[in-house]
Amino acid sequence: MHKSVDLFFVSSNNHKYLEAKEILDSFGIKLGFFKSNLEEIQSNSLKDIASKKAIDAFSKCKKPLIIEDAGLFIDSLYGFPGPYSSYVFKTIGNKGILNLLKQKRKAKFISIITYCDKNFLESFNSKLDGSISKYSKGKGWGYDPIFVPKNFTKTFAELKNKNELSHRFKALKKFSNWYLHKMESYDQ
């Protein structure tokens, strides 16, 4: 009998969970949702933040899980908001980011997926280059209406295939390869 959930996604953000679930479904991994507000340390390192969040999540969930932490890094703002992206979004939103920018709009998204169970703490990261649009475009969540991936003319919010090319997709793909190989070795 196949189990209904392979592991849990722990977050307070339902949007992130739904994206992760859709992406991992395509790799044959069944993802459950464990809604929780996690302790988020202040750090310049997304990996450190994600690792601490994963350990906190495991102490609450007690099941194999992943968490995701991501940051929007804008070159002309010296990488700001970076690891503080969630706080900055809640504080000034996309309108505030657009007001901060003049001509140079180059940016990148970095995503860290961290897996945690009683024996493992593993992180998988990816980045996606792009730019910040001049105006908010499309209906999406977070920074999706202002982030334009490199070699595209539309924002994430305007793209139908965001989940096939995003920073989150790339990090989840790395995680999936590792996780499926790990599970395969346990089955033998």
Stretch 139-158: mean pLDDT: 96
Of the pLDDT bands very low, low, confident and very high (cuts 50, 70, 90), residue 182 is confident
Residue 56 annotated in active site: no
Of residues 69, 75, 117, 129, which has the active-site annotation? Answer: 69
Domains in the chain with CATH codes? 7-187 (3.90.950.10)
Of the pLDDT bands very low, low, confident and very high (cuts 50, 70, 90), residue 186 is low
DSSP string, the chain: ---S-SEEEEES-HHHHHHHHHHHHTTT--EEEEE-PPP----S-HHHHHHHHHHHHHHHH-S-EEEEEEEEEEGGGTT-EETTHHHHHHHHHHHHHHHH--S--EEEEEEEEEEE-SS-EEEEEEEEEEEE-SS--SS-STTTTTEEETT-SS-GGG-TTGGGTSHHHHHHHHHHHHHHHHHHHHH-
The pTM score is 0.90
Residue 2 confidence (pLDDT) above 70: no
